[in-house]
């Protein structure tokens, strides 16, 4: 019998786990849940006889992959797959997939929760600013970015985007103004929403020089990955620009140092973007269906290690 391990250090909502169980039961697969684990060794043990695995931000390292001789497929229930060792997967003939778009509305809605919190003086009673008429730069224009743009238009914001992988024509079809370069995006927009993946190219790419281009009242909202920020440059920029604000749902490594910038810096303690039952259901059920399809028909749609 095909055995699927659902390893979620941050578990899915109950409605999602019920749905995942049902999909696998109907396919005649066994499903085993490893939830809320704190020691990576628990994952190493649990994966030994798994044929397939669903994860969220859980780390599918080379050690995990090597501990799983029967593993044929790993599906990251979510967008970013920087937590999977793709080279090790390919070497072992394991298919790695993500579930693009399934949790992007949840992340985009949280972006606005964080944005309003910062614009309204952290809900401490002081006078804030409105978003209507302000310029928002989307960096970059993928599934989350496009949802951020949709909501921004409801707020009456002027929306810009830069994405090296999407043509200007495609960006502009959504009523978004396409910036010519990253530098132009940052120098035009008071608000920047980070929606880029963590890759070798993007890691530490949001640095002091790029932030310095932002106009007065600069606010960066990071619901992407902490790795894309040059944290030393971020702290230096806070010191250089008393108008600068940074808000995130991913705790930076230098969080305790940034705490001194009271009212200008805020991070949720745990990653929150995809923490809605809708996103859990969308991504969790998509992951389960993708596994059933792959095992029963060989369908490799959404494979990311090609
Ligand atoms: C993603 O890449 O899909 C998001 O960052 C959500 O991650 P999570 O499933 O760990 O909340």
CATH code of the domain covering residue 187: 3.40.50.720
pLDDT at 239: 98
Q: Domain check: are 8 and 78 in the same one? A: yes
The pLDDT of 28-35, averaged and rounded, is: 98
Q: Domain check: are 20 and 95 in the same one? A: yes
Q: Domain check: are 72 and 208 in the same one? A: no
Q: Domain check: are 165 and 111 in the same one? A: yes
Query: In the structure, what pLDDT confidence band is assigned to residue 37 with cuts at 50, 70 and 90?
Result: very high
Beta strand pairing call for 52-55 and 3-8? parallel
pLDDT at 1: 96
Task: Kindly state whether residue 153 falls inside one of the protein's structural domains.
Answer: yes
Tallying the residues shown for the chain, one arrives at: 306
Q: Tell me the per-residue pLDDT of 177-221, one tens digit each, with 9 for 90 and over.
A: 999 999 999 999 999 999 999 999 999 999 999 999 999 999 999
Query: In the structure, what pLDDT confidence band is assigned to residue 41 with cuts at 50, 70 and 90?
Result: very high
Determine the Cα–Cα distance for residues 263 and 49; give it in Å rounded to an integer: 49
Q: Please state, rounded to an integer, the average pLDDT across all residues of the chain.
A: 98
Q: Which helix (H) or strand (E) holds 39?
A: none
Q: Domain check: are 293 and 250 in the same one? A: no
Q: Domain check: are 259 and 124 in the same one? A: yes
Q: Domain check: are 73 and 120 in the same one? A: no
CA distances 68 to 93, 122, 252, 297, Å, are: 12, 46, 32, 22
Q: Domain check: are 252 and 182 in the same one? A: yes
Calculate what percentage of the chain has a pLDDT beyond 70.
100
Tally of domains within the chain: 2
Give residue 240 CA to ligand 1 midpoint distance, Å: 32
Task: Kindly state whether residue 26 falls inside one of the protein's structural domains.
Answer: yes
Q: Domain check: are 116 and 84 in the same one? A: no
* Residue range(s) defining the domain that contains residue 84: 3-102+276-297
Q: Pick the residue whose CA is nearest to atom 2 on ligand 1.
A: 80
Task: Kindly state whether residue 304 falls inside one of the protein's structural domains.
Answer: no
Q: Tell me the per-residue pLDDT of 265-294, one tens digit each, with 9 for 90 and over.
A: 999 999 999 999 999 999 999 999 999 999
Q: Of 79, 109, 143, which is best to mutate to test ligand 1, by the most ligand atoms within 8 angstroms of its C-beta?
A: 79
Cβ of residue 274 lying under 6 Å from some atom of ligand 1 = yes
């Amino acid at each position: 019998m095909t055995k699927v391990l659902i390893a979620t250090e941050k578990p899915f909502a109950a409605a999602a786990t019920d749905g995942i169980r049902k999909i696998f039961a109907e396919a005649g697969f066994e499903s085993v849940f490893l939830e809320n684990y704190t020691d990576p060794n628990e994952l190493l043990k649990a994966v030994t006889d798994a044929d397939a695995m669903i994860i969220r931000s859980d780390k599918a390292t080379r050690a995990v992959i090597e501990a799983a001789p029967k593993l044929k497929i790993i599906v990251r229930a979510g967008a970013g797959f920087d937590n999977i060792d793709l080279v090790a997967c390919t070497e072992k003939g394991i298919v790695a997939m993500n579930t693009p778009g399934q949790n992007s509305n949840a992340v985009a809605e949280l972006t606005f929760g964080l944005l309003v919190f910062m614009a309204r003086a952290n809900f401490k009673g002081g006078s804030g600013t409105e978003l209507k008429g302000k310029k928002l730069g989307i960096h970059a224009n993928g599934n989350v970015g496009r949802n951020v743009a949709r909501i921004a238009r409801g707020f009456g914001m002027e929306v810009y985007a830069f994405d090296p992988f999407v043509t200007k024509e495609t960006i502009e079809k959504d009523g978004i103004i396409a910036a010519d370069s990253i530098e132009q995006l940052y120098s035009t927009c008071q608000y920047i929403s980070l929606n880029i993946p963590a890759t070798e190219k993007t890691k530490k790419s949001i640095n002091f020089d790029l932030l310095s281009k932002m106009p007065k009242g600069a606010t960066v909202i990071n619901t992407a990955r902490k790795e894309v920020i040059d944290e030393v440059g971020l702290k230096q920029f806070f010191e250089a620009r008393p108008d600068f604000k940074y808000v995130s749902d991913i705790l930076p490594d230098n969080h305790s140092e940034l705490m001194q910038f009271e009212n200008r810096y805020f991070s949720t303690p745990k990653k929150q973007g995809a923490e809605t039952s809708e996103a859990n259901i969308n991504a969790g059920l998509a992951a389960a269906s993708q596994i059933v399809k792959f095992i029963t028909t060989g369908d490799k749609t959404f494979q990311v290690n090609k």
